[in-house]
Amino acid sequence: MNANALKLEEVQVEEKEMFQNQLNKQKVEEHVIKVVSNNEIAKERKAENDMLKEDIAQLLGDSDEPMVVELPNGEFAVIKIRKNKREVLDREALAHVSKIDKDEFKSQLDFAMLVKQGKITTSMIKHCMAEKESKTVSIRVVKTNPLAKKRKKFKKNSF
């Protein structure tokens, strides 16, 4: 009888372990589904935020002054637009000048080989450089209005 009781107890322990393993597997699957869903939502929100920032940049235009917006929770959002200028190679212009297909200009190694072969020159590359300007919008949340601080300092100094 003791042997049967031990076997029954072993079977019950194995069933509990199997049940626990199935339960753990189910929880892992649920968590993975939730993580994937959250990642998709994050991508969608990032894309939406990027579009909103582009709109903000267009609406504010060439303003250099930061803008402050009071948020519903009493905090403030400080919006700044940074302008970046950099030189970019106009591959189409270089292809036209050198009479080479622009698909041959894929990597720096390609440029080096074409220069070495004499098909393009460094002066051709310099001639086809163009200045590209881009704007980046930064929005940060602060507890107090930074413009109010400036006004207070100004008022104190004016007396």
Q: pLDDT tens for residues 132-150?
A: 888 899 999 999 988 776 6
For the chain, residues with pLDDT lower than 70 are 1-8, 149-159
| H or E, element range at 43 | helix 2-60
Q: What is the pLDDT of residue 154?
A: 47
Segment 22-34, tens digit of pLDDT: 999 999 999 999 9
Phi and psi dihedrals of 76, rounded to 5? -125, 140
Distance CA 111, CA 88 (A): 14
Residue spans per domain, the chain: 1-60, 67-144
